[in-house]
Amino acid sequence: MKTPFLTKAQAEDIAQRFPTPFHIYDERGIRENARRLKAAFAWNPGFREYFAVKATPTPAILKLLKEEGCGVDCSSLVELMMSDRCGFSGGEIMFSSNETPAEEFRLAAELGATINLDDLTHVDFLKETLGYIPKKISCRYNPGGTFTLGESKEGFQVMDNPGEAKYGLTRPQMTEAFRRLKELGAEEFGIHAFLASNTISNDYYPALARILFQTAVELQQETGCHITFINLSGGVGVPYRPEQPANDIAVIGEGVRKAYEEILVPAGMGDVSLCTELGRFMLAPYGHLVTRVIHQKHTYKEYVGVDACASNLMRPAIYGAYHHITVLGKENASCDHKYDVVGALCENSDKFAIDRMLPEIEIGDLLVIHDTGAHGHAMGYQYNGRLRSAELLLKEDGSVELIRRAETPDDYFATVVW
């Protein structure tokens, strides 16, 4: 069972000040989770989480994570600008982008960010763009093929296709890139890889770590480059469905430690610092999209019409993603009605739930759509002239703060040349 971090009374109270729909984040949940991650990797002295800004590009959230010791992982010019304005600098910024325009490399270098190259050709592109190669540099590795974990009768626990992904360098290219970067003056090297997305398995990070650690040992032997950091990137997931088990970050940290002690330490590389670039794991469970039921429609199916739509949360419409729904005030009622919960877009994919068993719903009910803290508001858009909602922060003291106002028609018209 998934329990919202808001009660019906709280949500009604908030809705008086900030009309629905809105995204709301739970400060306490975010902080406690960030501390669990930090504790899980405390055995590694240089460890740092670089929050993947794209998941929740909201300054109040970035500042809160900064207070918890996190850096940021940026992948675009505007994300770099936002991170700069939030006070992140130098070693607190990772820049992992692909098909990168020259001006983005320039700003990343100016801010002192650690640049993570996505291709062999970017080595010389970066040299031409900046006129030099930064002393500290990283390359993104793509081992190709398929990546699987934990085969059982039901199939693989984790399955993804790095060989089909546009990101990263091949294994021989990694060697070539490191040699070339060293020639051009790089002194500290890092390796990054992202092999699977939203994994529900305590084994993903340890398995990825083994691949990266082994590769690091080989690369150091082949090229003589001094590898000082390894980036496990994102991919640790969250249970969107109530029956899924959650990842245990303490177990994950221990699994990575074991790989570190078995592979890096014996190779004399026990000083390598680790980093992560988690997005979903850091924020998804600590965000709710709160929306009100405004219509009910009985045709070939039973429809519940809400005041949020796919422009507030795109994942169900584009990936068929499951997001759990709680009807506030009916948490303990039996789920004996089958509904499609739909928004107002003129797109038949604008459905937050299809054939979902829920308690009997009435017009005026408030719904919590769960796990929208990452890739939720961030993926918002304005199709149909439906504007993006406000973002609110539920503070540890129970008060609520507006951290991004809702868009207005003037915002929508602001770019128009009439």
Ligand X SMILES: *Cc1c(COP(=O)(O)O)cnc(C)c1O
- List residues with catalytic annotation: 346
Closer to ligand X at the Cβ: 12 or 203?
Answer: 203
CB atoms within 10 A of CB 68: 17
Site for ligand X contains 197 (CB under 6 A): yes
Helix 171-183 / helix 204-223 crossing angle, nearest 10 deg:
50
53 vs 361, which CB is nearer to ligand X?
53
What is the closest distance, in whole angstroms, from the C-beta atom of residue 287 to ligand X in the complex?
A: 13
If one asks whether residue 106 binds ligand X (CB under 6 A), the answer comes out as: no
Which of 55, 62, 209, 310 binds ligand X (CB under 6 A)? It is 55
Name beta bridge partners: 155. 152
377 is a contact residue toward ligand X (CB under 6 A): no
* Residue whose beta carbon is closest to ligand X: 234
166: closest CA among 118, 126, 205? 118
Give me 304's structure tokens: 């519940």
Total binding residues toward ligand X, as defined by CB under 6 A = 18
Pick from 31, 54, 127, 180 the residue near ligand X by CB under 6 A: 54
Please say whether the beta carbons of 333 and 289 come within 8 A.
no
The two tokens of residue 176 are 């070539």
Give whole-number Cα distances, 51 to 88, 142, 155, 359, in Å. 11, 21, 31, 37
Interface of this chain with ligand X, residues 241 to 300, rule: CB under 6 A: 277-281
Do the beta carbons of residue 291 and residue 249 sit within 8 Å?
no
Stretch that binds ligand X, among 50-58, 84-92, 249-257, 339-347 (CB under 6 A): 50-58
Residues of this chain, 222-241, that bind ligand X according to CB under 6 A: 233-235
CB of 236 to ligand X, least distance (A): 6
The verdict on whether omega for the bond into residue 162 sits within 30 degrees of 0, i.e. cis, is: no
* Binds ligand X by CB under 6 A, chosen from 30, 52, 325, 393: 52
28 phi and psi, to 5 degrees?
A: -60, -45
Q: Which of residues 82-101 bind ligand X (CB under 6 A)?
A: 96
Candidates 26, 27, 49, 73; binder of ligand X (CB under 6 A) is 73
> Cβ neighbours of residue 238 under 8 Å, at least 6 residues apart?
198, 200, 246, 247, 280, 281, 284, 285, 371
Q: Which is nearer to ligand X, 83 or 291 (CB)?
A: 83
Nearer to ligand X, 96 or 311 (CB): 96
Q: In the complex, which residues of this chain contact ligand X (CB under 6 A)?
A: 52, 54-55, 73, 75, 96, 194, 197-198, 233-235, 277-281, 374
